[in-house]
Structure 1
Amino acid sequence: MCIHHILVVDDEPVLADACKQYFEHFGYKVTVAYDGQTALDLYERHSVDALITDFRMPRMNGQELLTRIRQRKPTLPAIMVSGFPGDFRQSEDERTKVFAKPTRLHTLAQCIKNLPCDSAVN
């Protein structure tokens, strides 16, 4: 398992916190943010191995967050979720997976296991 620390970002605290509890149960370290700007600030202070983010959020959407993080760490694996199917399409980048809400936590966990490891140094 190459992913140990996940940054979870969702402006719905119930969803973000449920995701945190679920992944911690399986041994992952999880840092949670409820908006994109806070997530970026946390990313600057913590080394993470993967990102799970909502698309539509206040202060910075998930795509902008991912773009800004990837300026620093281009190979960071990410999962983008949204309740609005028209927000984006599946990326051709194998390091980014896209899911529509609602998505089962089990599905996200399987995806995390199959994401490529980040080979870049933070």
Structure 2
Amino acid sequence: MIIPHHLLIAEDENLAAMALIESLEAEGFRVTLVHNGVEALEVDEKDPAALLLTDMRMPVMGGGALIRTIRLRRADLPIIVMTGYSECLPQEVPGRLIVLRKPYSLSALAGHVRALLPHRETAEH
């Protein structure tokens, strides 16, 4: 049995979020959606993600603060930033990070996700 990677998506735009979920679940990933950085930190603490996908502009806590905070907890977590605002891009963030400017293709996004994650492991019974 293949254990699916858990992807955490922080995106406050519902249409964008639904397209991401549909695309990534079709690729075999387990996906959790949250609408801001605070929710992302809460979910990741209870159910650690293999990869974070985040928008930059969100209510309550935006992507920049989310990235800085999660890097303190998990410096090795791969992150994909999805943004239409170049002035919001994170500066000098350590670790594996890819920035995709909106609009981006879902197939390109899936390729980046696969490239950042280790090969799936098979669970033993």
Structure of greater Rg? 2
Matched, 1:33 2:34: yes
Aligned pair in 2 of structure 1 residues 93, 45: CA closer, same or farther (>3 Å)? same
Aligned pair in 2 of structure 1 residues 78, 10: CA closer, same or farther (>3 Å)? same
RMSD: 2.2
| Pairing 1:55-94 to 2, within 5 Å after superposition | 55-88=56-89, 93=94
Q: Tell me how far 1:86 sits from its aligned partner.
A: 2.2
* Paired letter, 1:39: A
The answer (yes or no) to whether the contact 1:3–1:112 under 8 Å persists in 2 is: no
Match of 1:52 in 2: 53
Matched, 1:95 2:89: no
Structure 1, gaps ≥5 residues long: 118-122
Match of 1:23 in 2: 24
Q: For each residue in 1:18-41, what CA deviation from the matched residue of structure 2 results, as whole angstroms up to 9, or x when unmatched?
A: 101111111100000011111111
Aligned length: 117
SS at match of 2:17: helix
* Paired letter, 1:104: S
- Looking at structure 1, the residues matched to 104 and 30 of structure 2 have their Cα atoms a distance apart, in angstroms, of 21
Q: For each residue in 1:72-110, what CA deviation from the matched residue of structure 2 results, as whole angstroms up to 9, or x when unmatched?
A: 111000001111122226867561001111111111111
The answer (yes or no) to whether the contact 1:89–1:98 under 8 Å persists in 2 is: no
- Looking at structure 1, the residues matched to 36 and 93 of structure 2 have their Cα atoms a distance apart, in angstroms, of 25
TM score, norm. by length of structure 1: 0.85
- Looking at structure 2, the residues matched to 69 and 108 of structure 1 have their Cα atoms a distance apart, in angstroms, of 21
Aligned pair in 2 of structure 1 residues 92, 44: CA closer, same or farther (>3 Å)? closer
- Looking at structure 2, the residues matched to 79 and 85 of structure 1 have their Cα atoms a distance apart, in angstroms, of 14
